[in-house]
Amino acid sequence: MIALPRYTELVKNLTIKEFKLRYRNSFLGFVWSLLNPLAMMAILTLVFSTLLRAGIENFPVFLLPALLVWRFFSIGTSMALWSIIGNASLVTKVYFPRWLLVLSSNLANLVGSTLEFLALLPLLLALGMKVSWLVMLLPVVLAIEFVLIVGASLSLGALNVYYRDVNQVWDIALQAGFFLCPIIYSASLIPSRYAFLYSLNPITRIIESVRRIFYHGALPTAWDLLIPLLSGLILLAIGYAVFLKLEPRFAEEI
Amino acid sequence: MEVVHVDDLWKKFKIPHERRTTILENIAGALQMLAGKTFTYEELWALKEVSFSVAKGESLGVIGENGSGKSTLLKILAKILRPDKGKVDTNGRIAPILELGVGFHPDLTAKENILVYGTIMGLKNSELKKRMDSILQFAGLERFRDAKLKNLSSGMQMRLGFSVAIETDPDIFLIDEALAVGDFEFQKKCLSKFKEFKNEGKTIILVSHALNLVKEFCEKTLLLSRGEVISFGETEAVVNGYLKRVQAA
């Protein structure tokens, strides 16, 4: 990964390519990336605030930032899962470090998620989010989450070349993750005997961080940032090792 | 000076009798193995004990029947496949033009594909933008600059592949039968371009069944059969030997 500066232009072009392909042939293009979380917000607010009366004050502002960081992770990893196979024509025809494909897919998703946040910020303001300088911390939280995403994506992208059902397994894992992370409920509801285990989930900590920033107007705790950062670095090390081990036979297995 | 040096190269492909690609199939397979069932696969040595070298400015033809290992050899030189044993040294930037195209994406336009491929070959975006017109012009595709690649004919795609590869100014060309797709005029244009490159001291390795082309173009030729080197040396002698083998068979 040390050689990255040599490949900046290639990574840039691959990222632009990924981003373009994501919205090519679609009539509304990027607008879908805003409509999707907005529709989810409307449905979940209807179910939890109106029908179930879960009693969470200002549910849309409670939900939306959590939903956006969840989308960042889930879309990022499930797109990167296909980053090697989806580029079979390149992988079987010309040599370059293959992990650049994973990174570019993740970067395209980073651009997408950043735009989602920027575009929906005015809505959050209108809905009554807590306005403070703490919003400046959002890039830090997203950067930490990005490390997690790249780490997971390296393993997923490489393994999916050899075992195509990694995709199915990850699909289930993400569905489980949506309910195991405090997206539609508050982490304070977790019984105390599970609380420690629950709080080790790095995505839980990321969600808690953005919820503190946008909903409570409070500073994320040190652990809220350290746990995801450490898990991210561990995942990155594992992912890179797995990737290097599997990379030599990509062109044969693809 | 040698630009390509291959020493005792071996490449094996495993062909399982029962192919397992999903996790479930692998788990089932592992359980059956515990129960004493053995799984068999054939080992296919695509290349055995291959050694040769190519000097700077030299052209090498690689000939042999289907399945003799020619394409595998080229893919190893291009670093797309890794050998199981042996050493491959290459000196300089390599442009592989393997079976139809260089790795274009069907949903990107000609221009977008040129940018991606060009930066893979190590060029800067600024250089590529300068060379964009001449790339499209050589391919005869100026009008199709913004057309998606899937809307171009296979001949047009191949022409674009050649043009980009040529324009990225590599030291070593690896060409796998690709010329056969182009029309006569484009073939002629490419051949004269490659002759120019030869004079500039660039190296060309050409896999082809067109023996006339090999004779015209390559000083040396490598004859492969079932992954082994049958002969390597002056083109005239190797090609004649090949023809004799074919007639004797």
C-alpha B50/C-alpha A154 separation (Å) is 35
**B159: nearest Cα among B199, B101, B84:** B101
Looking at the domain assignment, is residue A39 inside a domain? yes
Contacts of B244 (CB under 8 A, 6+ apart): none
**pLDDT averaged over 10-residue windows placed end to end, chain A, 254 residues:** 78 94 83 90 89 86 95 97 94 93 97 93 89 91 98 98 94 97 93 93 97 94 96 98 95 89
| B65-96 core/surface letters (b: 16 or more CB in 10 A; e: else) | eeebbbbbbbbbbbebbebeebebebeeebbb
Contact list, A92 vs chain B (CB under 8 Å)? 80, 98, 103
Whether A83 is in a domain gets the answer yes
Q: B103 vs A93: CB contact, 8 Å cut-off?
A: yes
- Residue B100: the pLDDT is 61
A57 and B CB contact within 8 Å: no
**Distance between CA atoms of residues A33 and A12, nearest Å:** 21
Interface contact A252-B101, CB threshold 8 A: no
CA-based angle A229:A232:A233, to the nearest 5?
90
Residue A35, domain extent: 6-253
All residue ranges of chain B with pLDDT < 70 are: 18-20, 37-40, 99-101, 178-181
Residue of B nearest to A246 (CA): B82
- Summarize pLDDT for B219-230 with one digit per residue, the tens: 999 999 999 999
**CA gap B138, B134 in Å, rounded:** 6
* pLDDT tens sequence across A19-54: 999 888 788 888 888 999 999 999 999 998 888 877
Provide the ipTM: 0.86
- Give percent above pLDDT 90 in chain B: 56
What is the model's pLDDT at position B97? 86
In a domain, A42, yes or no: yes
Instruction: Count contacts between A and B (CB, < 8 Å).
Output: 75
Helix (H) or strand (E) holding A234: helix A222-246
CA A12/CA B194 separation, integer angstroms = 32
The reply to whether A113 falls in a domain is: yes
pTM metric for this prediction = 0.90
Q: Does some domain include residue A241?
A: yes
Please tell me the predicted confidence (pLDDT) of residue A51: 86
**Cα distance from B147 to chain A (closest Cα, Å)?**
13
Report how many domains make up chain A: 1
Give the number of other Cβ atoms within 10 Å of residue B33's Cβ. Answer: 11
A1 found inside a domain: no
- At B178 the pLDDT is 66
